[in-house]
Structure 1
């Protein structure tokens, strides 16, 4: 960020009580609007902006993978209006780790500088910024959804001419039968055929996660999230349906989680001990009822609970529960599984608490209403614990002021942006 842009932030983002912060906390203040401290950072409330892919980044040249001011006008705007934390979308730790050629990366200086400009703005609004480090695996080298829709498809392959890398799409297992949609080389298919990543490449991948995490620290990011959900590479390793390897990264549960544990350890080793680490996982892949799931086994809630039992010892602070996206025959996909995430997260939280595991749990998925959000953090409705944070995606796209709206509906008096104070409803209005 240049001196002039820093001056603009200083001049037009005055220091104030940050939006979304309760002006008073008493016995009536819901947990949703109470602060949460995780290591050295404190969220001013429990509402986070979920990572949402924009597919709007230059695909080639010196600015390939570099985040643009679009992120300030989208997730930055949500923080301006009260969200405590914004996590930037799936960010490739290496060029072939992006979902599309138009997704962000974090493997060079230009990308690090682009990220810093977003972080600086979010910090100027009193918010926290996270980045979701990812490798798309066999779901990489695709076209942005808008392009696919124009072609009449739900997904479309990106060729070399379109900035893709069809010969370098990786998966835990390779070959025609392992293309994500099962269509292999069929021209109607929307995904490339992956090749099996080698053990040597796995070592490089783990190092790339660490390098990207170090760059995130350099850019001032507050939280690192490791993406192990939605059918991307780490998720592909977890599930025996998508991982048919015969080496130490396949077969048994311990082997299939090995890549994730190595990535966590590598990231934790290069970032400050004061920085939180989140992991997003699929509570289930919904593949139990598929032919492959019946034959090879699946990734289920029980698998997730077993995994989470290991994570605190590795320095993971919060697990974000989502689901779907790992197989075309799954019962639910990423988009229609949302209503199931919250109940799943509450079940998992209750079991973990009974086991004495105090790791924080977050969730995401069609959280749209004030009382729904309040109750998710307060309790499961049956005397069990609530989740610790909620992540909101699509609702913020519809209502950037959703935090302020929720506070109003729950009768919590929170700070508004100073620039919008005259719009505050009720007796606090400024005319």
Structure 2
């Protein structure tokens, strides 16, 4: 049997194959009004097409746990019940196509309140649907970005509660997997990395203090997320800084602790916390970071990063470098990547009845 199309079980959930879609922001939610942050027709057709194409699990893009936690005013959110109802339409369709619906719960921290990427992604002020970003420390992301407000301990605990509330709503909306966004320079990552966390209290300084927020969020989500459903955590395995940043060694160390706190799989990415760093981008460039976690811990991992071909994806799994692959850009180009890969490998994959002539 093809490794890529072997089912994968975490807790009581069996995922039909190892071709998964990573969270990729669409910046297509309403920025204001009664359905602010709710998924739209765009999201239904976008995710629905990949489900109909045979993708085993789809992680819906970064979904904010509060209005201030959005990357942009056009991000998805799950802080109210109107959003929950809108998500149900999406999860029903994905589940109906034999695809596991997952959601990434997120807070953008100091990288919040920016425009959509295709219009430049510049910071937005209050006069342009923006707001004041927050962070562990008052350190702006880059030149031209606002100085974020330093979070008080009380505010930190409020955000921990917002993650738990968002997880409850995600369950009510029909999601089978929740993922905590701890990568790409957003709030959880900002606490992890000494590059962005300059605090001197219980949330800063030592490794143990800097991971405190991540573990508190994990515990809060795990407490409300059902025992039989998996919890993922996305991490940037490195800041790509020579010194003073989050490192692969830190990631391995954190992985073991996350497993102890109820995380079932580590979604391993890199970067996003420091602008202007040199990243050696190339085919599968982030896979070695996932492979190291898999080799040095017992926590399952998913690999991501320019995984674009069937043979490449199959080899990553067959070599034991990861337990699943997250196919991003290629799924944007080809919603039926999984079905085409199954045909190449002589494997079976779900095909909608309406597409029976394509088999």
TM bin (shorter chain): over 0.9
Q: 1:389 aligns with which of 324, 345, 350?
A: 324
Return the TM-score normalized by structure 2. Answer: 0.97
Which residues of 2 match residues 320-335 of structure 1 at below 5 A?
A: 320-332=267-279
The Cα shift of 1:413 comes to 4.1
Q: 1:345 aligns with which of 281, 284, 290?
A: 290
Residue 387 of structure 1 aligns to a residue in which SS? coil
Which residue is 1:202 aligned to? 156
The Cα shift of 1:163 comes to 1.0
How many residues of Structure 1 are paired with residues of Structure 2 in the alignment? 359
Which residues of 2 match residues 217-228 of structure 1 at below 5 A?
A: 217-228=171-182
Residue 87 of structure 1 aligns to a residue in which SS? strand
Residues 37-65 of structure 1: per-residue CA shift (max 9 Å, x gap): 11121110011111110001111111111
Residue 35 of structure 2 aligns to a residue in which SS? coil
Q: 1:61 aligns with which of 33, 40, 44?
A: 33
Residue 313 of structure 2 aligns to a residue in which SS? helix
Which residue is 2:136 aligned to? 172
Residues 272 and 331 (structure 1 numbering): CA distance in 2 closer, same or farther, change over 3 Å? same
RMSD: 1.3
Which residue is 2:240 aligned to? 286
Return the TM-score normalized by structure 1. Answer: 0.81
Which residue is 1:271 aligned to? 225
Which residue is 2:2 aligned to? 30
Please tell me whether the aligned partners of residues 79 and 166 of structure 2 are also in contact (alpha carbons under 8 angstroms).
yes
Residue 119 of structure 2 aligns to a residue in which SS? helix
Residues 338 and 270 (structure 1 numbering): CA distance in 2 closer, same or farther, change over 3 Å? farther
The Cα shift of 1:415 comes to 4.2
Which residues of 2 match residues 34-183 of structure 1 at below 5 A?
A: 34-148=6-120, 155-165=121-131, 168-174=132-138, 178-181=139-142, 183=143
The Cα shift of 1:337 comes to 7.2
Counterpart CA distance in 1 for 2:41 and 2:228 is 28
The Cα shift of 1:305 comes to 0.3
Residues 338 and 264 (structure 1 numbering): CA distance in 2 closer, same or farther, change over 3 Å? farther
Counterpart CA distance in 2 for 1:419 and 1:108 is 35
Structure 2, unpaired ranges of 5+: none
Q: Which moves more between the two structures, 203-212 or 323-332?
A: 323-332
Counterpart CA distance in 2 for 1:415 and 1:169 is 43
